[in-house]
């Protein structure tokens, strides 16, 4: 059998494996059961596609989504690998045709929906083939604990019973421990080797911005990223429509996507986005499942997401190709209120409580001054260093000042009102304004705290209080009507022996004007003009074959071409993402464009070392 590194270059054009891929591939080749838990974009598909190409026989891939299956089959075929898919969209005749292909060994891989696979007829047919591997993709669908349970996945236990000698590899990006055990048991994996990768997505930059003139901020960001693909998530259909329309008027190729649109419009808009005919999709959470587009350069959350799980999943759709990408979230308490109103509509008390708790975590994330990445990974139970240097908290650290005096006033106010009030009330007392009747009835207008913090605006006091909560001086009790309480930690400060450092108030104008940081260091070396030329060529080739451009070559492959200017087939084959078949199919045309450009601009090729396969 060929060596797996050589096969990787030959069939997929990559010279190196991503972390864990090589060991997984080798285990799968050795016939072991394997369980793979890796985040989106970490290259899970290759873990069964490469063994499938190398093994002598057929690999069956179980997948829940038609769009995903089609996407994978298309990209395998572009790489010259025989693959087919069977799902509910096919008629009897087409299925017979695929069966023939399988019987004649023309396909290495079969993608199939679980309900079809587990029918007795089909299992009977499978037995007549030489099946060498089952790959269960999105394996969390098997578990009732998962967020995406699909009853038809339950029947997959029959695979082991029907074909006990065929190894199984199960893959998912869902991290909950209960789900893992469920998967292993339900599929009857035998002594599986378990691979768990970190959920960190090192190429994503996280930013949280105050939601002030969100449209203006978005526009200013987009105008600097006109050619990039991105997703803008909105909470409601209306706002998705509005934002899309305004951006269109501004000259952007932006399309809406939400459950209120007719099915055809939705598929058309999605297709245009995937094929780079529209750069921007403005969507509700209805968009994203089964989107494999690797070159999504930014995800903007125009409105607050309901919980961190959704936020992480949605931001995770950026940068699958591992190039730097931005995740920008606009945060406002107004949005929080809107979500609370939605939660209130639910009748189920337990569900309500969970929803409030999750919303609370989401808010805490936005308010937090600590590294965003550390917070997110911590939420999913993973440790991370204190700083990532790729989020707003790390990139623009705030200046601090000795805030003991104002902290003391805040603590005293909470104490003197008997720790029975929420933040807004406490702030009213501190600035000595508002809540007139209520304050008089309680006699709080007579307190020493009354008006004691009036040198600050209510908004600034809010920032201080939230920071004191973060720092552990103040506790918050109750999710729905949160009440501020004093923690043990503040007794020293109240007694005059401790001090508190707080973030220095920022001048308001500075905050609004400050542009979104542009963290992406788009490979500085690449020649942008040549990259554009290659992109246009890629689009032409993709349209001719009716596949998305990223299937011809991903962005990073074009960037490498525009960095090294390969002038021969041999040099081109050393570029990441150029395998044998693609070299043969498209090499000539790309080389021609590069040569033209180099001639016109007097550019020399930069030789890449390392041997081509
Ligand atoms: P996942 O299923 O884990 O979300 P994918 O299988 O879709 O991830 O892979 C994400 C991207 O990484 C794809 O564009 C894929 O072509 C690319 N990729 C996979 N393996 C490698 C590799 N060894 N080197 C470079 N790119 C890779
Ligand atoms: Zn950070």
**pLDDT, the chain, mean:** 89
CATH code for position 241: 3.40.50.300
- What gap in Å lies between CA 273 and CA 267, rounded to an integer? 10
The confidence score (pLDDT) of residue 181 equals 87
Judged by DSSP in three states, 113 sits in coil
The confidence score (pLDDT) of residue 161 equals 93
Q: Does ligand 1 come within 6 angstroms of the Cβ of 45?
A: yes
The pLDDT confidence band at residue 477, using thresholds 50, 70 and 90, is confident
Which range, of 339-353, 360-374, 514-528, averages the lowest pLDDT?
A: 514-528
- What gap in Å lies between CA 452 and CA 417, rounded to an integer? 14
* Structural domains in the chain (count): 4
The confidence score (pLDDT) of residue 95 equals 92
Task: Answer with the residue of higher pLDDT: 454 or 175.
Answer: 454
* Distance separating the N- and C-terminal Cα atoms of the chain: 16
Task: Answer with the residue of higher pLDDT: 36 or 65.
Answer: 36
In a domain, 471, yes or no: yes
Q: In this structure, which ligand is nearest to the CA of 292? A: 1
Instruction: Indicate the burial class of 601 (C-beta count within 10 angstroms; 0-12, 13-18, 19 or more).
Output: exposed
CB atoms under 10 Å from CB of 578, counted, come to: 27
The pLDDT confidence band at residue 520, using thresholds 50, 70 and 90, is very low
- What gap in Å lies between CA 405 and CA 415, rounded to an integer? 15
- Which segments within 40-152 are labelled E, that is strand? 58-62, 83-86, 109-112, 131-136
Residue (of 559, 554, 576) closest to 520 by Cα position: 559
Q: Tokens 């494999």 identify what position?
A: 292
**Position 61 pLDDT exceeds 60:** yes
Task: Answer with the residue of higher pLDDT: 176 or 247.
Answer: 247
Judged by DSSP in three states, 25 sits in helix
CATH code for position 553: 1.10.150.80
Percent of the residues in the chain that have a pLDDT greater than 70, as a whole number? 94
Give mean pLDDT, residues 277-285. Answer: 95
The confidence score (pLDDT) of residue 397 equals 66
Q: In this structure, which ligand is nearest to the CA of 11? A: 1
Beta bridge partners of 476: 484
Distances (CA, A) of 127 to 103, 114, 162, 163, 268: 11, 16, 8, 8, 39
In a domain, 426, yes or no: yes
The pLDDT confidence band at residue 511, using thresholds 50, 70 and 90, is very low
Q: Does ligand 1 come within 6 angstroms of the Cβ of 43?
A: yes
In a domain, 50, yes or no: yes
Q: In this structure, which ligand is nearest to the CA of 8? A: 1
The confidence score (pLDDT) of residue 237 equals 94
Q: In this structure, which ligand is nearest to the CA of 387? A: 2
Chain centre distance of CA 203: 11
Q: Does ligand 1 come within 6 angstroms of the Cβ of 294?
A: yes
Indicate the top mutation candidate among 12, 25, 45 to test ligand 1's pocket, ranked by most ligand atoms within 8 A of CB: 45
Chain centre distance of CA 220: 23
- What gap in Å lies between CA 583 and CA 571, rounded to an integer? 11
Give mean pLDDT, residues 138-156. Answer: 82
The confidence score (pLDDT) of residue 508 equals 42
Segment 236-264, tens digit of pLDDT: 999 999 999 999 999 999 999 999 999 99
Are 382 and 409 in the same domain? no
Are 458 and 374 in the same domain? no
Judged by DSSP in three states, 149 sits in coil
SS (H, E, C) 313-335: HHHCCCCCCCCCEEEEEEECHHH
Q: Which residues surround ligand 2, an ion (CB under 5 A)?
A: 371, 373, 388, 391, 394
Are 212 and 358 in the same domain? yes
In a domain, 518, yes or no: no
The confidence score (pLDDT) of residue 513 equals 34
Tell me, what DSSP letter sits at residue 453? Answer: T
**Position 145 pLDDT exceeds 70:** no
Are 192 and 208 in the same domain? no
- What gap in Å lies between CA 536 and CA 550, rounded to an integer? 12
Q: The pTM is what?
A: 0.78
The pLDDT confidence band at residue 550, using thresholds 50, 70 and 90, is very high
Percent of the residues in the chain that have a pLDDT greater than 90, as a whole number? 62
Are 389 and 466 in the same domain? no
Are 161 and 306 in the same domain? no
In a domain, 611, yes or no: no
Judged by DSSP in three states, 36 sits in strand
Task: Answer with the residue of higher pLDDT: 456 or 291.
Answer: 456
Which range, of 127-141, 155-169, 496-510, 542-556, averages the lowest pLDDT?
A: 496-510
- What gap in Å lies between CA 281 and CA 279, rounded to an integer? 7
Segment 557-606, tens digit of pLDDT: 999 999 999 999 999 999 999 999 999 999 999 999 999 999 999 999 98
The confidence score (pLDDT) of residue 367 equals 87
The pLDDT confidence band at residue 457, using thresholds 50, 70 and 90, is confident
Q: Does ligand 1 come within 6 angstroms of the Cβ of 320?
A: yes
User: What separation in Å is there between the alpha carbon of 210 and the centre of ligand 2?
Assistant: 17
Work out whether strand 296-301 and strand 229-233 pair parallel, antiparallel, or are unpaired: parallel
User: What separation in Å is there between the alpha carbon of 384 and the centre of ligand 2?
Assistant: 10
Instruction: Indicate the burial class of 277 (C-beta count within 10 angstroms; 0-12, 13-18, 19 or more).
Output: middle
CB atoms under 10 Å from CB of 398, counted, come to: 13
Domain that holds residue 108: 4-196
Last residue of a domain, one of 454, 470, 503: 503
- What gap in Å lies between CA 78 and CA 545, rounded to an integer? 9
Tell me, what DSSP letter sits at residue 517? Answer: P
Are 377 and 408 in the same domain? no
**Position 516 pLDDT exceeds 50:** no
User: What separation in Å is there between the alpha carbon of 200 and the centre of ligand 2?
Assistant: 12
The confidence score (pLDDT) of residue 610 equals 57
In a domain, 609, yes or no: no
**Position 270 pLDDT exceeds 60:** yes
The pLDDT confidence band at residue 146, using thresholds 50, 70 and 90, is low
Residue 498: phi and psi, rounded to 5, are -115, 170
The pLDDT confidence band at residue 317, using thresholds 50, 70 and 90, is very high
CATH code for position 435: 1.10.10.10
| Half-sphere exposure of residue 123: CA atoms within 13 angstroms, side-chain side | 15
User: What separation in Å is there between the alpha carbon of 308 and the centre of ligand 2?
Assistant: 16
The confidence score (pLDDT) of residue 205 equals 96
Residue (of 378, 221, 369) closest to 301 by Cα position: 221
Q: Does ligand 1 come within 6 angstroms of the Cβ of 46?
A: yes
Q: What is the position in ligand 1's atom list of the atom closest to the CA of 21?
A: 23
In a domain, 328, yes or no: yes
The confidence score (pLDDT) of residue 570 equals 94
Are 268 and 370 in the same domain? yes
Last residue of a domain, one of 368, 395, 422: 395
Residue 213, phi-psi category: left (phi > 0), alpha (psi -120 to 50), beta (remainder):
left
Are 489 and 359 in the same domain? no
Tokens of 442: 């309680």
- What gap in Å lies between CA 342 and CA 479, rounded to an integer? 15
Residue 296: phi and psi, rounded to 5, are -80, 115
Q: Does ligand 1 come within 6 angstroms of the Cβ of 211?
A: no
Residue (of 234, 327, 548) closest to 245 by Cα position: 234
Are 383 and 406 in the same domain? no
Last residue of a domain, one of 470, 503, 536: 503
Are 386 and 266 in the same domain? yes
**Position 124 pLDDT exceeds 80:** yes
In a domain, 513, yes or no: no
Are 155 and 215 in the same domain? no
């Amino acid at each position: 059998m060929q060596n797996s590194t050589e096969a990787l270059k030959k069939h997929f054009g990559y010279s190196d494996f991503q972390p864990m891929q090589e060991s997984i591939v080798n285990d799968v080749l050795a016939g072991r059961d394997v369980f793979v838990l890796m985040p989106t974009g970490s290259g899970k598909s290759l873990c069964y596609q490469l063994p499938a190409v190398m093994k002598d026989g057929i690999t069956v891939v179980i997948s829940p989504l038609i769009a995903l299956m089609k996407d994978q089959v298309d990209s395998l075929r572009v790489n010259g690998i025989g693959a087919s898919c069977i799902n509910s969209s096919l008629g009897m005749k087409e299925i017979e045709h695929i069966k023939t292909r399988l019987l004649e060994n023309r396909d290495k891989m079969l993608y199939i929906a679980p309900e079809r696979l587990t029918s007795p007829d089909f299992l009977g047919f499978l037995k007549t083939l030489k099946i060498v591997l089952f790959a269960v993709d999105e394996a969390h669908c098997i578990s009732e604990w998962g967020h995406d349970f699909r009853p038809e996945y339950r029947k997959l236990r029959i695979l082991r019973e029907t074909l006990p000698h065929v190894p199984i590899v199960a893959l998912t990006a869902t991290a909950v421990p209960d789900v893992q055990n469920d998967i292993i048991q339900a599929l009857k994996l035998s002594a599986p080797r378990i691979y768990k990768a970190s959920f960190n997505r090192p190429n994503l930059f996280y930013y949280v911005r105050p939601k002030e003139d969100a449209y203006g901020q978005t526009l200013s960001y987009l105008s600097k990223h006109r050619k990039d693909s991105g997703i803008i998530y909105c909470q409601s259909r209306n706002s998705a429509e509005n934002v899309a329309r305004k951006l269109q008027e501004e000259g952007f190729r932006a399309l809406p996507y939400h459950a209120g649109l007719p099915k055809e419009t939705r598929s058309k808009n999605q297709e245009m986005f995937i094929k780079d005919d529209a750069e921007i999709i403005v969507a509700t959470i209805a968009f994203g499942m089964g989107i494999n587009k690797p070159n999504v350069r930014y995800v903007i959350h125009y409105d607050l997401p309901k919980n961190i799980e959704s936020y992480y999943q949605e931001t995770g759709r950026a940068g699958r190709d591992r190039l730097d990408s931005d995740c920008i979230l606009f945060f406002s308490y107004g949005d929080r209120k809107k979500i609370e109103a939605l939660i209130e509509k639910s009748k189920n008390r337990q569900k309500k409580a969970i929803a409030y708790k999750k919303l609370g975590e989401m808010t805490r994330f936005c308010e937090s001054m600590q590294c965003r990445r550390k917070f997110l990974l911590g939420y999913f139970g993973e440790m991370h260093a204190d700083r990532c240097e790729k989020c707003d908290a790390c990139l623009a650290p705030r200046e601090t000042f000795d805030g003991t005096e104002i902290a003391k006033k805040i603590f005293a106010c909470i104490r003197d009102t008997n720790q029975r009030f929420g933040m807004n009330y406490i702030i009213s007392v501190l600035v000595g304004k508002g809540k007139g009747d209520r304050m008089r009835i309680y006699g709080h207008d007579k307190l020493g705290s009354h008006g004691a913090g009036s040198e600050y605006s209510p908004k600034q006091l809010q920032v201080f209080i939230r920071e004191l909560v973060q720092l552990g001086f103040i506790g918050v009790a109750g999710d729905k009507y949160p009440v501020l309480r004093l923690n043990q930690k503040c007794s020293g400060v109240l007694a005059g022996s401790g001090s508190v450092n707080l973030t220095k108030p920022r001048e308001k104008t500075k905050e609004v004007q400050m542009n979104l940081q542009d963290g992406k260091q788009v490979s500085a070396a690449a020649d942008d003009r040549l990259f554009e030329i290659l992109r246009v060529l890629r689009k032409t080739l993709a349209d001719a074959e009716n596949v998305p451009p990223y299937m011809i070559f991903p962005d990073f492959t074009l960037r490498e071409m525009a960095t090294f200017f390969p002038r021969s087939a041999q040099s081109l084959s050393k570029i990441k993402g150029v395998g044998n078949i693609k070299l043969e199919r498209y090499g000539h045309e790309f080389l021609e464009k590069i040569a033209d450009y180099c001639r016109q601009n007097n550019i020399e090729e930069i030789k890449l070392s390392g041997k081509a396969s």
